[in-house]
Amino acid sequence: MRSTFALAFFVLTSLSPALAAPNTREIQRRYCEADAMRLCKDLVPDEKKIIACMYAKQTQLSPECYRVFKASARPKS
């Protein structure tokens, strides 16, 4: 379970290099970890699929996590 949370943290911090600052990483983890586990946990450990899943389910994200996604560029497939 701990490794799943670590993976979700890694995925969320890799959304955009511009969002990789330590303080921003903590904000991403705080606001999106629960959403990643709630909406996309069945895709662990595939990082690209988790990110794509969260983009596909943007309307289901918490408002704070949604803002993190809006602030990052959509990953290229």
Q: Is the pTM of this model over 0.85?
A: no
Q: What is the pLDDT of residues 8-46, one digit of tens each?
A: 555 555 554 544 555 666 777 788 889 999 999 999 888
Joined tokens for residue 1: 């379970």
Nearest to 1 by CA among 37, 35, 26, 27: 37
Q: Where are the alpha helices (DSSP H) in 14-62?
A: 22-40, 47-56
Contact between 49 and 43 under an 8 Å Cβ cutoff? The reply is yes
pLDDT for residue 77 is more than 60 = no
